[in-house]
């Protein structure tokens, strides 16, 4: 009972905050609603016994990425968005595509099947703590994909530096 | 929660879960009251220390040796007029100082002051502290932005860039401690230190401690890294437009932040409420001193260090600040991680943990 109340609260707030974030005319207010949404996502993770992921969610998204968003907004000195009648000319097409995606999501939700249970059940996680579990799985079982992902990020960093350095020459 | 309710056993006609909640609330009240008192007297301590270092007496008028000065300051700022700039973004302007103080105070939830006394003994204590210290910058950024003044704006731009840059070495410098203790739980880290022969991780982690101290000073916007509030250039930086109680909230957030950073240093590098085992063997009577005394003594040594640095060093230039963060501290902390990991594996294979 109490679980359902918590879950309903978190998911309702996440949906409400996402809607608020994209409808605000003041860009900074939108960013703040997004920040609240990230907090509720972190709460949802905590609710799933994933304490490590929830802390990382706050550190990375709320602490770093949203601060960068704020930084960009402040550097560009965006105050209020211009009110325009129609932003995109082909909105019926967009409506069609998005309702199609919604249909796909609904259909997949109706036919969802839970996967088979692995080694890492709740009892096991509570025994070794979630941080240890994530570390063990990430560095033992999925070491190669992890390294590939970090290589991809390195390429992105080098690309950013190359783009930024071109002007200096 | 469900198990808690199922276990309810009435004591004085009050169910058990209510006792638990009541106990937590009392703990929170005790911690908040204690820390706010320390925040008030940290300002007094700062003015005294800096006064003495500059051959002055510091506050002397209010009370004996000026001891009531912080209380007088508090009352004054409480009754001052609250001025709001005309073009300020009001909701954000009101929210910003509260947000800053909230982030600073919620970090206190995971700080163990002595053995067993912690509001929430969670497994990710250290990560929680990082998360909250990274939120503290929101108060600064939003306060500067919503004031609609160029000085505030420049101050908050500087603050955001500075805090993003120094959060990285701050986190990386503690990875060595995490590796040595094998845990993120702060109580566990302190207990692991008392098992370690040196008694304090500062001996093995001196490089990490150095990086931590520098980035902690930068993270709390203290001199010599107080660019966001550089008086000579920006009047008061991000809180130029704030007055009265809202200004006092920013002030309290800054000092609470200092206390939090000092307590992380005490808990992760200086052994928390314990004293090294070899000292205890040498002078066994020290064992009767309660842990909170050691904790507060170490805390005040760290806070004194903050003031010492402030009254000794001139402010860095902005490009120097960025260069120190990215070109010196991050490579040093990465080197520290590699050295700690290699040594841990080598010692582990040699047989001694």
pLDDT in tens, A107-130: 988 888 877 777 777 777 777 777
Lookup: tokens for B268: 């992760």
Q: Where a domain ends, among B79, B111, B146?
A: B79
Shared domain check, A126 and A66: no
Shared domain check, B184 and B40: no
- Give me the residue label for tokens 């930024």: A164
Residue B13 is predicted with a pLDDT of 65
Shared domain check, B93 and B197: yes
Collapse the DSSP code of B2 into the 3-class scheme (helix H, G, I; strand E, B; otherwise coil) and give the result.
helix
Residue B1 is predicted with a pLDDT of 39
Which tens digit of pLDDT belongs to each residue from A20-78? 888 887 788 888 888 889 889 988 888 887 888 888 888 888 888 888 888 787 777 66
Q: Where a domain ends, among A81, A105, A137?
A: A81
Which tens digit of pLDDT belongs to each residue from B20-79? 888 888 888 888 888 888 888 888 888 888 888 888 888 888 878 888 888 888 888 888
Count the Cβ atoms, other than its own, within 10 Å of residue A95.
10
- B281-303: average pLDDT: 82
Shared domain check, B157 and B75: no
CA–chain centroid gap for B154, Å, is 25
Q: Is A99 domain-assigned?
A: no
Shared domain check, A66 and A138: no
Residue A153 is predicted with a pLDDT of 92
Count the Cβ atoms, other than its own, within 10 Å of residue A7.
13
Q: Is A111 domain-assigned?
A: no
What is the pLDDT confidence band of residue A148, given thresholds at 50, 70 and 90? very high
B94 touches chain A (CB under 8 A): no
Burial class (CB in 10 A: 0-12, 13-18, 19+), B211: buried
Mention every residue, 6+ apart, whose C-beta is less than 8 A from residue A143: none
Give this complex's ipTM: 0.75
Shared domain check, B75 and B91: no
What is the pLDDT confidence band of residue B7, given thresholds at 50, 70 and 90? very low
Shared domain check, A127 and A75: no
Report the DSSP beta bridge partners of residue B16: none
Find out whether B227 and B189 touch, Cβ atoms under 8 Å.
Answer: no
Indicate the range of A73-87, A149-163, B143-157 predicted with least confidence: A73-87
Shared domain check, A9 and A62: yes
* Residue A102 CA neighbour count, 13 Å, CB half: 6
- B313-333: average pLDDT: 86
Q: Where a domain ends, among A20, A55, A81?
A: A81
Shared domain check, A67 and A8: yes
Contacts A35 to B, Cβ<8 Å: 138
Count of the separate structural domains present in chain A: 2
Shared domain check, B104 and B22: no
Burial class (CB in 10 A: 0-12, 13-18, 19+), A54: buried
Contacts A131 to B, Cβ<8 Å: 123-124, 184
Contacts A67 to B, Cβ<8 Å: 134, 137-138, 141, 160, 163-164
- B315-321: average pLDDT: 83
Q: Is A30 domain-assigned?
A: yes
Which of B2, B127, B157 is opposite residue A74, by nearest beta carbon?
B157
The DSSP output letter for B285 is G
Shared domain check, B201 and B52: no
Find out whether B227 and B315 touch, Cβ atoms under 8 Å.
Answer: yes
What is the pLDDT confidence band of residue A152, given thresholds at 50, 70 and 90? very high
Contacts B156 to A, Cβ<8 Å: 74
Shared domain check, A126 and A65: no
CATH of the domain at A69: 1.20.120.1200
Q: Which of B200, B176, B204, B170 is nearest to B266 (CA)?
A: B200
Q: Where a domain ends, among B79, B102, B121?
A: B79
Shared domain check, A75 and A128: no
List the Cα angle B269/B274/B276 in 5-degree steps.
75
The domain in which residue A142 lies consists of 122-169
A67 touches chain B (CB under 8 A): yes
Mention every residue, 6+ apart, whose C-beta is less than 8 A from residue A112: none
Find out whether B230 and B321 touch, Cβ atoms under 8 Å.
Answer: no
Residue A98 is predicted with a pLDDT of 92
Find out whether B62 and B40 touch, Cβ atoms under 8 Å.
Answer: no
Report the DSSP beta bridge partners of residue A80: A26
Q: Where a domain ends, among B29, B56, B79?
A: B79
B164 touches chain A (CB under 8 A): yes
Which tens digit of pLDDT belongs to each residue from B109-156? 888 887 777 887 888 888 888 888 888 888 888 888 888 778 888 888
The domain in which residue B59 lies consists of 1-79
Count of the separate structural domains present in chain B: 2
């Amino acid at each position: 009972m109490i679980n359902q109340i918590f879950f309903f609260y978190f998911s309702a707030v996440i949906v409400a905050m996402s809607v608020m974030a994209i409808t605000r005319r003041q860009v900074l207010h939108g960013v703040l609603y997004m920040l609240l949404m990230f907090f509720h996502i972190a709460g949802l993770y905590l609710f799933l016994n994933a304490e490590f992921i929830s802390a990382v969610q706050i550190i990375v998204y709320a602490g770093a990425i949203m601060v960068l968003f704020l930084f960009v907004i402040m550097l560009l000195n965006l105050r209020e968005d211009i009110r325009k009648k129609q932003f995109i000319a082909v909105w019926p097409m967009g409506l069609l595509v998005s309702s199609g995606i919604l249909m796909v999501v609904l259909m997949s939700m109706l036919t969802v099947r839970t996967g088979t249970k692995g080694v890492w059940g709740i009892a096991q996680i509570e025994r070794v703590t979630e941080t240890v579990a994530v570390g063990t799985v990430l560095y033992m079982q999925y070491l190669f994909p992890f390294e590939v992902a970090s290589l991809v990020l390195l390429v992105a960093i080098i690309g950013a530096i190359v783009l930024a350095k071109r002007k200096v020459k | 929660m469900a198990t808690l309710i199922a276990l309810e056993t009435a004591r004085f006609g009050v169910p058990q879960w209510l006792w638990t909640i009541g106990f937590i609330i009392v703990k929170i009240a005790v911690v908040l009251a204690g820390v706010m008192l320390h925040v008030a007297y940290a300002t007094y301590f700062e003015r005294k220390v800096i006064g003495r270092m500059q051959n002055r007496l510091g506050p002397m008028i209010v009370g004996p040796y000026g001891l009531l000065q912080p209380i007088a300051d508090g009352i004054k700022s409480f009754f001052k007029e609250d001025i709001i700039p005309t073009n300020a973004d009001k909701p954000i302007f009101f929210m910003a100082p509260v947000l800053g103080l909230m982030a600073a105070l919620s970090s206190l939830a995971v700080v163990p002051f002595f053995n067993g006394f912690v509001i929430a003994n969670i497994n990710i204590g250290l990560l929680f502290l990082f998360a909250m210290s990274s939120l503290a910058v929101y108060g600064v950024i939003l306060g500067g932005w919503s004031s609609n003044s160029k000085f505030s704006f420049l101050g908050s731009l500087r603050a955001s860039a500075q805090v993003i840059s120094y959060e990285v070495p701050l986190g990386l410098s503690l990875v060595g401690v995490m590796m040595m203790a094998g845990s993120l739980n702060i109580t566990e880290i302190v207990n692991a230190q008392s098992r370690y022969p040196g008694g304090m991780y500062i001996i093995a982690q001196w490089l990490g401690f150095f990086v931590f101290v520098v980035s902690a000073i930068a993270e709390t916007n203290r001199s010599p890294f107080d660019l966001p509030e550089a008086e000579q250039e920006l009047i008061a930086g991000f809180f130029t437009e704030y007055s009265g109680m809202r200004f006092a909230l920013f002030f309290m957030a800054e000092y609470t932040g200092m206390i939090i950073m000092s307590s992380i240093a005490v808990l992760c590098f200086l052994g928390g409420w314990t004293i090294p085992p070899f000292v205890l063997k040498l002078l066994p009577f020290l064992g009767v001193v309660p842990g909170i005394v050691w904790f507060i003594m170490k805390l005040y040594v760290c806070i004194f260090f903050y003031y010492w640095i402030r009254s000794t060093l001139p402010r860095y230039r902005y490009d120097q600040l960025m260069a120190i963060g990215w070109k010196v501290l991050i490579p040093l902390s990465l080197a520290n991680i590699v050295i700690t990991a290699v040594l841990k594996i080598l010692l582990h294979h040699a047989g001694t943990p």
